[in-house]
Structure 1
Amino acid sequence: MKEKKFQFSYKVVADATGLAEADAALLQLARKTTKKAYAPYSKFNVACAAKLANGKTVVGSNQENASYPVGICAERALLATVGTQYTDEPILTLAVTYHSLNGDSSHPISPCGMCRQALSEYEKRSGTPIRLLLSGMEGPVYIISTIKDLLPLAFSEEDLG
């Protein structure tokens, strides 16, 4: 039996003031977009903003439904918009944030497993790493170079045989 190990490095800045101007603006747009979330059940508003290779910016927010499986996460809402309006356009940077109406929103969160899979497929499809900025409404920001770091054993078309 062989044991293998997976690890990755990421950067942490104390708050948005430690980011480059373009990254800080993208994160601020994502934070502003949390107001567009529809989360009456969880009270957990998630939003994201993406900077595309063509210079355009796209946003997404979570949209819940009383029948929970019908809802959609902010990241997949954004991917649907990018895929429809800017087919195959690479996403260079994706800022993900949240505002919890039930508590603290001061630490970074990460995309759920389903969103990691969807982001992984989009990253591969476009041939460009998606750089992630993960944060709350305040506090530290994690900077991750590629979605591959969050989903190292992603399922892909190669697995379909």
Structure 2
Amino acid sequence: MIGRDELLALAREASTRAYAPYSNFHVGAALQFADGSVVTGANVENASYGLSLCAETVAVGKVLSEGGRRDLVSVAVTGGAPGRAGQGATVTPCGRCRQMLNEVAQLGGTDPVVWCDGDEVVETTLSALLPHAFGPANLAKP
């Protein structure tokens, strides 16, 4: 398992791979699982703005499309101008990304710590960011 600073470094590295020609705001995310594996993602914008994907959504898509992983234990999110991720205002997951992260967390029954990067690193939990979350556990099983 790696710690906060290493996970934030991986998120910053991921942000360098962002495709953000419209906002020029590069976001990176790193998701760590109990087995020590880490999956990263970067935001991918689209000329049709509503079709853009946040870094967390890209990472969750990678996790689930590669067979999924259980036990999400920590998440790091960073953003900023190209080459300046982690500098400036603290970046937190948007509402959609909180819901996407919740999907993976509920699959493993975890409440991961979330580190939000900026001039100040904010440490919180997913349940604090998304109280009373809706997820797989709320759906009736056929």
TM-score band, normalised by shorter chain: 0.7 to 0.9
Structure-1 residue corresponding to 2:14:
33
C-alpha distance in 2, partners of 1:55/1:41? 34
Aligned residues: 137
Structure-1 residue corresponding to 2:55:
74
Report deviation, 1:53: 1.2
Secondary structure of the structure 1 residue equivalent to 2:39? strand
Secondary structure of the structure 2 residue equivalent to 1:94? strand
Q: Does 1:61 align with 2:42?
A: yes
Report deviation, 1:100: 2.4
Of structures 1 and 2, the larger Rg is shown by 1
- 1:134–1:143 Cα contact (<8 Å) kept: yes
Structure-1 residue corresponding to 2:127:
148
- TM-score scaled by length of structure 2: 0.85
Render the CA deviation track for 1:4-53: whole Å, top value 9, x for unaligned.
xxxxxxxxxxxxxxxxx721111011112111000000111110112211
Report deviation, 1:88: 3.4
Structure-2 residue corresponding to 1:9:
none
Report deviation, 1:153: 2.9
The unaligned stretches of length 5 or more in structure 2 are: none
- TM-score scaled by length of structure 1: 0.76
Structure 1 runs (4+) deviating above 3 angstroms are 156-161
In structure 2, which of residues 61, 69, 80 is the aligned counterpart of residue 99 of structure 1?
80
- 2:32–2:73 Cα contact (<8 Å) kept: yes
The unaligned stretches of length 5 or more in structure 1 are: 1-20
Structure-2 residue corresponding to 1:108:
90
Secondary structure of the structure 2 residue equivalent to 1:47? strand
RMSD: 2.1
